[in-house]
Chains A and B, each alone.
Chain A
Amino acid sequence: MNDTVTTEDLLGRVRKRDRQALAELYDRYAPSLRGITLRILTQRDTADRAVQEAFLHLWEAVAPASSRAAPKAMPPASTHAIPDSLPLHGPQGSSAAAWLTFQARAAALARLRAARGADALPDLELNGHIVSWLPRTEEVELVDRRRDLLQKILRQLPKAQRELLEKLVFEGWHEAEIAEKQGEPLAKVKSDVRAAMRFLRHRLRAVMGTWGANI
């Protein structure tokens, strides 16, 4: 793997249907994505398939419209398709790392929820909108350098709230399912979940400033 080649360069080559460039992106991002899908699915073979699906979505997403496969050819986990106009490169470019992370998580959770007979998580209807909120590359690089902070902040949460976040992020339960599973009122679960998120949000802002404000 040549680390001097930027992700933006590789994406540009992928856009031109360069398979080797996709393989290089795979080398770069597969380990962290596999960490996520393995945490969700626990089985290495299915975790690897979910990682592959994230890259297959990327291949489709950056394709020129003329060479893009019909939408029905996409696996059902694709709720985060990139529109033609996504500026994947350049100073305003959206982060491929973040995009792949969302895709890999969605692919893994789709498998997990299907295996337990649950409906797919809600379709976020993000086609065409993801550009508006997907973090920029430089924002992701900034937070990547401070991952240790989140670990410290998470340890400050009450154990019950940490476990709730685990259920939401890696086990694919939504609030109503957690309430039912735990035999608790939905209002209580919502209150606990939102308190945990509020704590995270405020602590992260406090230690890093409003995201992107100084980038």
Chain B
Amino acid sequence: MGCQHLEELYELYLLGALDPEDAARVGEHVRRQCPSCCQGLREAALTVYLLCQTTTPARASGRADTQQKAELLRRLRVK
């Protein structure tokens, strides 16, 4: 598909880490649903997802968790 030159940019594009010029190069392919780039981005998205998930899950205490959930539902009602 002629997009090999963009392969190095997919993860960085998803991370928002590219300069505007490089981001625009990838973005143009994304906007026109370039199949090669979309496949590359999907693979990259899994890598980015995994990188994010290198953190340790943080459970709130029972009371704090209840409060957080109540706050979420309250914010829903406001919307």
Contact = CB atoms under 8 A, between A and B. Distances in A.
Interface of A: 19, 22-23, 26-27, 30-32, 34-36, 38-39, 47-48, 51-52, 55-56, 59-60, 69, 73, 97-98, 101-102, 105-106, 109, 121-122, 124-126, 129, 132-135, 139-140, 143-144, 147, 150-151, 154, 165, 168-170, 172-176, 186, 193-194, 197-198, 200-201, 204, 210-212
Interface string B1-43: 0000000100111111111100100010011010000110111
A212 B71 CA distance: 38
A23 to B, nearest CB: 5
A32 B53 contact: yes
A168 B45 CA distance: 14
A97 B49 CA distance: 9
A52 to B, nearest CB: 5
Interface centre among B30, B52, B60, B65 (most CB of A within 10 A): B52
Main secondary structure of the interface of B (DSSP, over half): helix
Interface of B: 8, 11-20, 23, 27, 30-31, 33, 38-39, 41-60, 65, 68-69, 71-73, 75-76, 79
A129 B79 contact: no
A176 B23 CA distance: 12
B72 A31 contact: no
A72 B60 CA distance: 31
A35 B57 contact: yes
Contacts, number: 167
Contact of B68 (A48, A193, A204): A48
B79 A197 contact: no
Contacts of B75: 52, 56
A73 B79 contact: yes
A198 B72 contact: no
Contacts of A170: 55
Contacts of A124: 13-14, 16, 23, 27, 30
A125 B31 contact: yes
Given A48-B60, A135-B45, A197 B11 contact: yes
Contacts of A34: 57-60
A56 B27 CA distance: 26
B69 to A, nearest CB: 5
B69 A39 contact: no
B52 A101 contact: yes
A200 B46 CA distance: 11
17 contacts: A19-B76, A22-B73, A27-B69, A31-B57, A31-B59, A38-B55, A59-B76, A109-B16, A124-B13, A134-B42, A135-B42, A139-B42, A169-B51, A169-B52, A174-B18, A175-B17, A197-B47
Nearest to A197: B11
